[in-house]
Each structure stands twice: as C-alpha cells, then as structure tokens.
Structure 1
C-alpha cells in the first residue's frame, strides 16, 4: 500500500510541540459484542499544541485510538508512528485497551509503564463493572489527570515505578504505520469519511493535507 494512504494529519510540526510530552490517554473497551471499540475514559492535554491545531490533533487521537484498538491483538504492544507522533497501544485479554499519544522522543518503556499504571488504577476503581458498557461514556477517573501530569515528565519516572508494574519485556513491540494495519480492501479516505471521531473541519484538513503532501508540504500548516 502506497504512501498516499498514510494520513498526514499529524506530520510536520507536532514533534516540535510535543517532543517528549504526552498529549492523550484513552481507555477503551474492545469486545465482539460491540460494533467497534468504545471509549470508557480519555484525557487530552493541549498545552504543547498551538491553539489552532488543538481540535484537529484531538480528533486525530480519538480516531487513531479507536481504529488501533480494533486492530491490536490481545496482550500485544503496538507503537504506531506517523510523522513526529507516536501512538502507543496495549490491550489486555479482558478487552481493555490503553492508548497514548506522545511526541516522537517519548521513551517506549515509560509509555508502556504508563499504560500499566492506567490499567491498574482503572481496574482498582471499576473492577469488572466497565464490561457492561455498550457505548462511549466518560466514566469518572479523577486519577487520570494526575497520572497524565506525572508522565508528562518521563525523565522523572523512577526505577521503582518501572519495577512495580513489571512491564513485560518479553512481549514484542509491533511498530507500524496506519498504512500497515489497514485491512485488505480498506481505504483510509473512506474510514475518515465514516468516522464519528473526526469533525467536518478535520476531515477537510485531512483531504487538503493529502493534496499538499504530494507537493511535500505539511499537513497542519
């Protein structure tokens, strides 16, 4: 599949503004009894993103998180890399999937430690009651703000935290782009058009960015 199917929604300046920062955490339920993954909780940090790009980047995070959650296997770790952004995903065998959007320089091990921390705290709060949810919902998870603030300084995450959550190093990290995980016959433009996570304005930006990319221009300029 050619480069024309790779979304340029996040390329160019996002690395400059994120660097080692954490922009988004999503908690999703994935199950065969659902039409697709649903959000249970999510948090977006726009501090390091220019005001006029915030809605588009937020849309991109929601769209990508939902799609990746539908494609990742159980107990699989995935890093989706597009432009200057990375989307980390980790799915448990109970159907809970944690997705994080960071800058290109964010450390892999810290990102997956973060996923384990979010999972552990969420399960501590909701046990298995979240498994009855059938549509997008915003469950109360006050610790998510504190976790995001803490992990926005990955250099401060100490070895004790890493050890406590015992992030498995035996699980192979799957590194992909959106183009790599498209199913046979899927077309990114049609996914974008059908997506309820993308606003009309973001869809227009996406279509414009594809045209600009052919001329080696940036997506969100």
Structure 2
C-alpha cells in the first residue's frame, strides 16, 4: 500500500464547504491509482470528470496530478518528472516510509503547483503551440479580409467596365447630336 509523503492542492475553484471533501477525494483517488499502476509506467485515468495523470518511475516514488480536462497531459507528466526528481534529490530516502506529509521537509511542491497552474507559462512547448494557434487565427482573419478585398476589387472593376461602356455610349450619342448642327 502506498504512503502519502507530500501533497499540494489548489482547490480555490471550489466552494469553501466543498474543499475538504475534494481534498479527501484527491488523496483517496491518488492512492488508489498508484496502487494499481506498474513501476515504470505513465497513465492517464479519468475519475468522474477529472483526468488523473500518474507517473511511477522505477523506484519507490510515484506522483499524481489531478487536473481539469483542458490541462495538457504532456505538461502534467513533465511536472511529475520534475517534482519526483527534485523530491528524490532533496529528501533523504530513510525518512520516506515513516514520515508523514507534515514532517517531510520539501517545500518546492507548492512552488511547482503555482508555476504549473497555467501550462502556457510553465511549458515552452505549450507556449509555442499557443503562439502557433494565435498566428493561425490571425492568418485566417487576414485571408478572409483579403478575399473580401478581392471581391470588392472585382465589384469595382465590373462597375468601371459598366461606366466605361456607358461613357462610350454617351460619347457616341453626343457626337451624333453634335454632327447634325452647323456652327457659325
């Protein structure tokens, strides 16, 4: 059975009265997922409407990220790798099985949690992807406006052709009118 060594929660999006229940749900679900995961595996499991990302590297540590459905799984696994690597370097392995989350001296978890709230800011690939998506939208809008301009230019060309035809007709009529009169 897995032992919770350290946890960090951001339950600010839930009402005050739901927060403790949500934390209990997250703790229970995390332990359950870790128990059913094999060493050396990464997996994403959906519990209710929340995707739970678990990473169990070779060793005795495991990490779980529970996020909303919009959070990219690649960023969650990057976060898990960084946290587990930093934790294993900073916290002596002797204290793992007997320690409680309150006694283990590892303060970087809250920093990781706040830094990774917005995957765009934390992950360079997400930032590049977001910039590409924005560029694609701008190009799409530019193409639409160019097509509209092309249609407007087409309208102007056809109107100028009609105007040219009308001016030729006017010129011919004016010439006929002028040719019948003698000027003295």
- TM-score, normalised via structure 2 length: 0.63
Which residues in structure 2 correspond to 1:62-211 (within 5 Å)?
A: 62-131=27-96, 133-134=97-98, 136-138=100-102, 139-159=104-124
Greater strand share, structure number: 1
Please provide the CA RMSD for this pair. Answer: 2.1
Distance 1:96 1:88, change over 3 A: same
Greater helix share, structure number: 2
Distance 1:135 1:37, change over 3 A: farther
**Unaligned residue ranges in structure 2 (runs of 5+):** 127-184
1:118-153 Cα offsets, whole Å, 9 max, x none, are 01110120253345x246443121111111000001
Quick check: 1:73–1:91 contact (8 Å CA) kept in 2?
A: yes
Determine helix, strand or coil for the equivalent of 1:77.
strand
**Unaligned residue ranges in structure 1 (runs of 5+):** 1-35, 162-221
Q: What's the counterpart of residue 141 of structure 2?
A: none
Highest RCO, 1 vs 2 (Cα 8 Å, sep ≥ 6): 1
1:133-185 Cα offsets, whole Å, 9 max, x none, are 24644312111111100000111123389xxxxxxxxxxxxxxxxxxxxxxxx
1:65-111 Cα offsets, whole Å, 9 max, x none, are 11111110011111111232111110021110001111111101000
Determine helix, strand or coil for the equivalent of 1:44.
coil
Quick check: 1:151–1:157 contact (8 Å CA) kept in 2?
A: yes
Distance 1:55 1:93, change over 3 A: same
Quick check: 1:90–1:99 contact (8 Å CA) kept in 2?
A: yes
Distance 1:109 1:130, change over 3 A: farther
Determine helix, strand or coil for the equivalent of 1:116.
helix
How many pairs are equivalent?
Answer: 126
